[in-house]
Amino acid sequence: MPQREARLGQDGLAEARRRIGNMLTRRLSTKGSHSLLSRHEILGVVGEEFHELVHTVKEGNKEDVADELIDLAVACIVGMASLRWVDW
């Protein structure tokens, strides 16, 4: 049976922002604050995280999916922040 649409509450959005922020901080502390070097590197990093998400969704573990969504969000943030340095 299809699930009904639910509204995203401020608590859920705040939790998502907190978890993404924590992972971004961890990523910067472990890998440094270096930008991605090209649009192709951005695509590669985001694409890899997306493929990991697809694989995890097929496995069906909700918390693992949440973790992969966080990793994808962090990759997108780093990609966006890197655009200023990428020679187009």
- DSSP characters over 13-47: HHHHHHHHHHHHHHHHHHH-SPPP-SHHHHHHHHH
Domain spans, the chain: 10-82
Q: 19-36, pLDDT tens digit by residue?
A: 999 999 999 999 999 999
| Identity of residue 21 | G
pLDDT along the chain (88 residues), means of 10: 80 97 97 93 97 96 97 97 89
| Identity of residue 46 | V
Q: CA–CA separation, 47 vs 20, rounded Å?
A: 18
State the sign of the Cα–Cα–Cα–Cα dihedral 35, 13, 67, 21: positive
Q: Give this prediction's pTM.
A: 0.89
